[in-house]
Amino acid sequence: MSLANSQRATQFKKSLIFYGLSIVLMKGLSLIMLPFIAGYLPPAQMGKLELLTTAAMLLSLFVAMGLEDCLFRFAGTQTGNKQRNIVASLYGWSLYLGAVAFLLGYIAAPTISQLTGGQLAPYQLQIIWAGVALEGAISLPLGYLRMRDNAGQFFAVVIGRTFLQALLTVVLLHHNPHLDSVIIASVIATFSQAFVLGLCQYRSTGIAAKRQELTAIWRYGMPLLGSGLCMFALNGVDRIAIAQWDSLTQLGLYSVAAKFALATVLLMQPFGMWWRPRRFEWLQHRAAQCTQVLGLASVLLSLMTCGVICMAPVLIIVLMPEAYHSATLLAGAIAIMFGLREASEIHNIGLLSQQSTLPLLKINVTSAIIGASCCLLGTFYWGVSGCITGLIIAQGFRLAAIHLQGKNALVHHVQPLLLLFCVCMPVVATGISYTALSSQVGIWQLTIYSVALALGCAICAGAMVISYRLTNYLGFRQATTAPC
């Protein structure tokens, strides 16, 4: 191995460790805080918190405006002063967009409160939107740190905010056990992180707002905003439907199951944090290796999904109050939905590598229509289980469409046998997990939990080694060009 390759490998391992620790500590602490918060808030209040989060998700789409993707697409291929000028301009526009979004959200809060039937107070919406308005001013500097491989600084900023928010949540809930304490703690931590990142960004690149970058945001970011709105139909309308046609209590149970099932995505984030800033460069100069990485990531995601399906119900039983235990029957199916969504994010490089993101927008619009229709109808007739089924159908369609439309941009693609393996394994694991949970009786209950937990840990721990061997065993089509 040459010295350059050795240095790249060392840097990759270092970055992966820091990104992995960031995710583990951040989400691990959030998972620890979840039972603590649940001890103060009943399921109905958790459902209201989920509605507030949904409103924040909607506003964050307008604040972000695809800025992070614009950063990777246009600044990631440049170097030196040219790169810094692009980043400075994008950051300047992120501040403008945040200010406009906050003003619009502040004005619209009373109207939105009325649309929810008064379940969300206007002041609660205004508080949480104050933090969401900084979404672009946070995500863009964090993306720049990742692009420059400043994993250590990224780790410090992310973990600092996480611990500050956890500390504030504990203190405020102790003095005022109410939903407002949770959202106030979140906003204070968000402002603190945005301030620190703003200082770092100003010292590194300065702040500007040039017309050229605004044009790039409009042409490249606006379709991504449209795609984000479509994704809101797949990841936000479910909360609204459950609150409308079921109950806030069921929404609270659904949100708890979703938070544990979200580990499917979180376990893949260290890879994603390393991969996303450099994926276009790899596609351009190392196309064969790029496709092999995608196949490897697909197998790894499938195995991680199986692990989460087995582990999530156990963790809910062990960590959460008894009022939330019925969420165990939802976690496995939600994990599959998250797995399909993450697979789409892995395989969309073929579409995003084009100068226009309109093909991806068309796929997302179609998926959103299918998802919203299935979700609303399913919730109306069958409750929360119908809602989850509708989301799985929509995410499956989106993955298939993205894979078929984007594979032409790659030198070769994963063989069907490998994809079949990746899809079938989580389905089988869900069936086994659901059967075990549905047949819990007496002393066998602890045995079932222990076996499921051991199986989940074994799958996750051995995923990296097993996935590499499975990839080689199942194979890829021979590349038509040699890697650089």
Identify the CA nearest to 246 among candidates 384, 119, 376: 384
Is residue 356 within 8 A of residue 218, CB to CB? The reply is: no
Q: Write b or e for each residue in 353-365: b if 16 or more Cβ atoms lie within 10 A of its Cβ, otherwise e.
A: beeebebbbbbbe
Structure tokens at 203: 């010292």
Closest residue by Cα to residue 85 from 74, 69, 96, 97: 74
CA atoms within 13 A on the CB side of 319: 23
Give the model confidence (pLDDT) of 62-74 as tens digits: 777 677 777 877 7
Count of residues making up the chain: 484
Position 163 scores a pLDDT of 92
Q: Of the candidates 124, 37, 82, which has an alpha carbon nearest to the alpha carbon of residue 324?
A: 37
Confidence (pTM): 0.72
Contact 152, 18 (CB under 8 A): yes
DSSP output for 5-28: HHHHHHHHHHHHHHHHHHHHHHHH
- Report pLDDT digits (tens) over 116-133: 777 888 999 899 888 888
Taking only the tens place, the pLDDT of each residue in 358-388 is 787 788 888 888 988 999 999 998 889 899 9
Sorting pLDDT into bands at 50, 70 and 90, what band is 355? low
Confidence of residue 215 (pLDDT cuts 50, 70, 90): confident
Counting Cα atoms < 13 Å in the Cβ hemisphere of 263 gives 28
* Percentage with pLDDT > 90 across the chain: 12
**Helical segments of 71-178, H only:** 80-115, 122-132, 135-147, 151-175
Segment among 182-196, 386-400, 414-428 with least mean pLDDT: 414-428
